[in-house]
Chains A and B, each alone.
Chain A
Amino acid sequence: MSNEKRKRFVIVGNGIAGISAAYAIRRLNKEAEIKIISEEPHPTYSSCVLPNYLSGEISRERVFVREFPDYLKDNIQLITSEKAITLDIERKSIISEAEIIAYDKLIVATGSIPTIPNIKGIEKKGVFTFKSLRDADDICRWKGRTAVIIGSGLIGVEVGLALKKRGYQVFLIELLDRILPQVFDEYPASLIKDALKDGGIDVATQERVVEILGKDRVEGVASNKRRIKCDTVILATGMRPEKGLVKGIFELGKLGGIKVNDKMGTGIQDVYACGDCVEAQSLIDGRPILSLLWHNARQQGQVAGSNATGISKTYTGSLNITGVEVLGLKAVSIGSIGTSLDKDLEVIEVRKTGRYRRLVLSNEVLVGVQSINWDENLGLFLAAILRKEKVKTHKDLISSGNPSFKSLRQFPLGRKLTLSCMQSLR
């Protein structure tokens, strides 16, 4: 019996998915042996707040969400600076650089790595990616004056703002026709673009960077339209799942992530995967999507950890919830955008002075919200998206931008007891 309890759990990856899984296991099984293998030398940090560290708003210590003593306290063994090289499924062990680690249950949470575009001169000094703490440290140490950011996703925009605060002159170059192309439609994206321009960032869309100039250090960037003199280049062209460990062993999906079911199982017995490296089903239409977002990784980690201990838990699906603050303009996008799904879409726009909201409905079901400077009630829209209920009945209320309190009462996530009390008393 004691042997049964003292199961060996091994987690590859010390990101948010990895530690969420570790803490989920620890909560359910106090005696289990939990090992986390991490390539990086640090305890877990939040990559979402790295732009704030880069801009100097917060100190380096505040990037970390766990310290080394925290792991000890919860009896979680953290093996840092060690890369897991391959996986032996038959013998149930992980082969890393230094040792062979046997497991009873394995959770793969290797996360994502930046995609490196095929641009001439990419190996020069002064070209950075932005994903890990080391990247942020490198950029902090680098003394540059002018930066070109290739790609205008969330990372591109946030790094651009952070570098602007550090005193750089910033150029943001996007290949597509709008900035933040994955999370905003044209009009809201243009509002954000205007705000960035007001903040002194040079934003260009429909421009392709063809070459990075200079001898061994970056001296400039050549695009299909112009030449920009600069000393720093940031590649923010997207992320892709890191799957070096599992190549050839796991089934990979079409999008390049590890295929998982709604229990975060990989199809191989006793092996689970979670975080940025998996493609889980979308909450909106159930199709597999890559969702490289913090809260999804966190939920997936909890589900994977719980299922690994034998307590069944189902993942509801990945949902995009992103927010970006551009010099006083707060832009939030929840769910799908109008250009990502193509069937029976209906778009409701509410424009008021200084604020904007766009609702995307598919077959009368709310699937997405984008809002600029209009924070209130957003949570109700989130609830409506999660509930997948037809909005026909309270369309007027929703289109006015103020959903009713009635929709709140049917909210599925609340602490059931209090809510059911509230409901039946009414």
Chain B
Amino acid sequence: MVEEKVLIFDPNYCTGCMYCVTACSTYNNGATSLSKSRIHIVRHEGHAITKMTDEDDLIFDVITCQQCDQPYCLYLCPALAVQRNDDTGALIINHDKCVGCRMCMVGCPFGAISYDLNKKQIIKCELCGGDPQCVRFCASGALQFLPKNLAHLPKRDRLARKMVQLRARASKEKPF
């Protein structure tokens, strides 16, 4: 069994370049179409929480399938068309079994499942069979695909650097 990896997104690095969206829709649909992408970028303005510096007030968020541990899309599917791939951990749609009831879309709390009206198919991130193209083409390194046991490292790294910054700022303000 291949080690299960998870998709990690760090909003602090994301520049909103949409490479992931383009790569996703091109790889999975054969042509670029933003509505058929399985990954979406949302733009937030004036988000104070993530501010690293004072002029930093624009952040981007990625919305894509979280491959939930308790997936309601999988539970709700009456045809067992949503299945967990044991190798990648991704939730895969079996289009031969799908009857098009769209209950998976109802159950998804992230709005990560959409419907292709032309093909009459459900669209959902399937981690590109274990090699996510969004990560491959991510220019800034905001998206990463890491084994589960290493997934906390970027977070730790970021926190450490934030601490250094805060300490530097504090020592500037209040010299001992």
Which residues of A come within 8 Å of B, CB atoms? Answer: 46, 48-49, 52, 57-58, 62, 65, 294-295, 298-299, 321, 323, 325, 330, 332, 334, 375-380, 382-383, 405, 408, 411, 413-422, 424-426
Contacts and interface: CB of A to CB of B under 8 A. Distances in A.
- DSSP class of B's interface residues: helix, strand, loop or mixed? loop
A294 B106 contact: no
Given A321-B106, A375-B105, 12 more contacts: A46-B80, A48-B79, A49-B79, A295-B72, A299-B75, A321-B76, A376-B111, A379-B106, A380-B111, A383-B109, A421-B10, A424-B155
Contacts of B164: none
A106 B115 CA distance: 41
Interface residues of B, number: 44
Interface string B107-144: 11111000000000000000000000000000000000
A20 to B, nearest CB: 10
8 contacts: A49-B79, A58-B99, A62-B97, A413-B72, A414-B66, A414-B69, A414-B110, A418-B6
Interface of B: 6-12, 42, 47, 49-50, 61, 66-72, 75-76, 78-80, 96-97, 99, 101-103, 105-111, 148, 151-152, 154-155, 158-159
A375 B105 CA distance: 8
Contact of A65 (B67, B97, B106): B97
Nearest to B72: A382
**Top-6 shortest CB links A-B:** A48-B78, A379-B109, A295-B75, A65-B80, A383-B109, A413-B70
A319 to B, nearest CB: 10
B101 to A, nearest CB: 7
A334 B61 CA distance: 28
A376 B63 CA distance: 14
A14 to B, nearest CB: 14
Contacts of B97: 62, 65
Nearest to B59: A426
B7 A418 contact: yes
A426 B75 contact: no
A334 B168 CA distance: 51
A25 B146 CA distance: 30
Contacts of A426: 11, 47, 49-50
Contact of B66 (A332, A376, A415): A415
Contacts of B12: 425
B107 A379 contact: yes
Contacts of B75: 295, 298-299
Contacts of A405: 42, 61
Contacts of B102: 323, 325, 330, 375
A421 B145 CA distance: 13
Given A414-B68, A418-B8, A425-B158, A294 B76 contact: yes
B64 to A, nearest CB: 10
Given A57-B99, A379-B111, A413 B79 contact: no
Nearest to A413: B70
B151 to A, nearest CB: 5
A415 B111 contact: no
